[in-house]
Structure 1
């Protein structure tokens, strides 16, 4: 059993982009990687391919599990999970989310669990991604953008993760549109994060090669 939690400094900075790239890199090494995103909002049943679980499923390739298996809790409204769930008459509970993740963790082969939103984004009315991560005691990949201000946001996220005893396995800076130079921004961030590996994920039409990240992780 080996598992990693992919979280981020905020919403829409590239978690799924990084997760899909890492899945492809692990598969290229012959690893039978799995992916799980317990809850997703903004899910359009008419365009599943564009959804986060749809993109994860595509990266997993032939024999991938169903969307229901990858993301069992899917809600239509593009809101935080508890708000989107409430509109559909569902009350999200941290115990249930933890149980869903633990069932996946008990399976065979490397597992990537992707959160919803950023480290401190709410998953339920009472709990955040950080609460779930801390309960699972999994190391994390922290994804950040390269936009102006990202260094402050990333260092803040690192501080709250550290305060809860969470191990950060790597930081991946995903390129933001119209942002300052990706390499220079990552180098500036790296000066503040000690021994935590800081990698860059450029935005290419054919995706990012995450083989270096795959080699660094003990999955």
Structure 2
């Protein structure tokens, strides 16, 4: 069984697009799948259909109504801010131990391919003491790190890789999600990063038109070819 935590070097870089592409690809390959987005900001009645948890539900062929969203995203907030700030606006907080238990309920289940999508970047704060990095370390999952191809991404990516390594979080693959304004071709960005991380599989996610471009992505096949779907079954799972 394969389990991954999808994180990123920052926000708005394509975590949900990556997660949706992988879930649909795994399901098309005949696997049973489950995708969680336990914490999300900027979710309300006005944008429910286009929200991150709704996209993950669509990728699994499930309904995208409020009851379904709440099943995979118990901690959703209206303000499009970091989770700690968004929760504070509503007089709430993200209870870290409950968050970890919620994820493990699915991770310990029978589905063959499970993704937990994080929120923001690697060091996004969840509450006054915990970050996404703490969440990943507690779940003991290999990470899929999503990065852009914008100017500055090499430094951001290497910083994220060093931070994850410092906490013992293995990175199964780096996924370069092509930015709108890429100053250099993604292959050159990958080559620069590879000099510092020679053993890390680096996958390229090209820009695909439309909000459901993930339906046309071959990312799951690329991940499978990298040999990392099998490797992700180590650790707790």
The residue that corresponds to 1:125 in the other structure is 128
The offset of 1:63, in angstroms, is: 6.8
Which residues of 2 match residues 136-147 of structure 1 at below 5 A?
Answer: 136-147=139-150
Find 2:98's aligned residue among 93, 96, 100. 96
Which residues of 2 match residues 24-173 of structure 1 at below 5 A?
Answer: 24-62=24-62, 66-109=68-111, 110-173=113-176
Flag as ranges the 4+ runs of structure 1 deviating above 3 A.
62-65
The offset of 1:93, in angstroms, is: 2.3
Report if aligned partners of 1:39, 1:74 keep a CA contact under 8 Å in 2: yes
Report if aligned partners of 2:57, 2:63 keep a CA contact under 8 Å in 1: no
* Aligned-partner Cα distance in 2 for 1:16–1:134: 20
* Aligned-partner Cα distance in 2 for 1:140–1:127: 18
> C-alpha deviations, 1:154-197, integer Å up to 9, x for none?
10001011111111100000011111222221222222212110
The residue that corresponds to 1:213 in the other structure is 223
User: Is 1:188 equivalent to 2:197 in the alignment?
Assistant: no
Report if aligned partners of 1:26, 1:214 keep a CA contact under 8 Å in 2: no
* Aligned-partner Cα distance in 1 for 2:187–2:24: 23
> C-alpha deviations, 1:102-147, integer Å up to 9, x for none?
1111111121000000001111121100001111111100010000
Report if aligned partners of 2:8, 2:122 keep a CA contact under 8 Å in 1: yes
TM-score, normalised by the number of residues in structure 1 = 0.95
TM-score, normalised by the number of residues in structure 2 = 0.88
Report if aligned partners of 1:10, 1:144 keep a CA contact under 8 Å in 2: yes
The offset of 1:62, in angstroms, is: 4.4
Q: Unaligned regions of 5+ residues in structure 1, if any?
A: none
Q: Unaligned regions of 5+ residues in structure 2, if any?
A: 233-237
The offset of 1:13, in angstroms, is: 0.8
- Report the secondary structure of 2:13's partner residue: coil
* Aligned-partner Cα distance in 1 for 2:145–2:52: 17
User: Is 1:197 equivalent to 2:201 in the alignment?
Assistant: yes
* Aligned-partner Cα distance in 1 for 2:48–2:133: 27
Report if aligned partners of 1:169, 1:197 keep a CA contact under 8 Å in 2: yes
User: Is 1:177 equivalent to 2:191 in the alignment?
Assistant: no
Pairs aligned (count): 219
